[in-house]
Structure 1
Amino acid sequence: MNYRERVVSDHQTMLGKPVIKGTRITVELVLRKLSEGATTQDLLIMYPHLQEIDVLAALMYASDVLANEEIIMAKAA
C-alpha cells in the first residue's frame, strides 16, 4: 500500500497538517489515540469515516517521516 493515496496535506485543510483523505482527521490524532491505548477497531467506531487501511496509512506515513528525518548537530561552543 502507498500511504500517499490515503494521507494528504493541503494548506486549506487543518492548516496543512497531514490528514486522512476526504476527512479532517489528522494523522496526529490517529497516532495519539493509538498511543493512548485505542485499538484500530476503537478508531473505526469513534470515527465512522475511517477505514482500517487509513489507520495503517497513518502509521506508514509516520514511519516514513521518521525514517527520513535529518538530525543536525550543533558544534559546542
Structure 2
Amino acid sequence: MKSWQERISMDTEIRFGKPCITGTRIAVLDILGWLANGMSYEEILADFPSLTREDILAALAFAANREENTKILVSA
C-alpha cells in the first residue's frame, strides 16, 4: 500500500480543508464514521465506487497517526 500521505490531501476549497481522499470529496471523517457505525469495507466500496480498499486503510492510518501525535495536557 502507498503511504497514507499519498492518498490523503487537504485543500481549503474542498470540504473546508478537512482531510479527504485525494481526488474525491470523501473525508477521512466520513470513512471513520461509516466504519464506526458498522459498515463493512465491501459496503463502503459498493456505495462509493471511487474509493478503494487502500483508501479506507489510508483513512485508518491517517487517524492512527493523528492519534499518535496528539499531546494530552494534564493540569495538576
Q: Provide structure 1 residue ranges, at least 5 long, that are not aligned to the other structure.
A: none
Q: Provide structure 2 residue ranges, at least 5 long, that are not aligned to the other structure.
A: none
Segments of 4+ in structure 1 off by > 3 A? Answer: none
1-structure distance, mates of 2:47, 2:41: 10
TM-score by length of 1: 0.93
RMSD over aligned CA atoms reads 0.8
TM-score by length of 2: 0.94
Larger radius of gyration: 1
Report how far residue 74 of structure 1 moved.
Answer: 2.9
1-structure distance, mates of 2:47, 2:8: 19
2-structure distance, mates of 1:40, 1:60: 15
Aligned length: 75
1:54 aligned partner: 55
2-structure distance, mates of 1:70, 1:58: 20
Amino-acid identity (%): 35
AA partner of residue 69 (structure 2): N
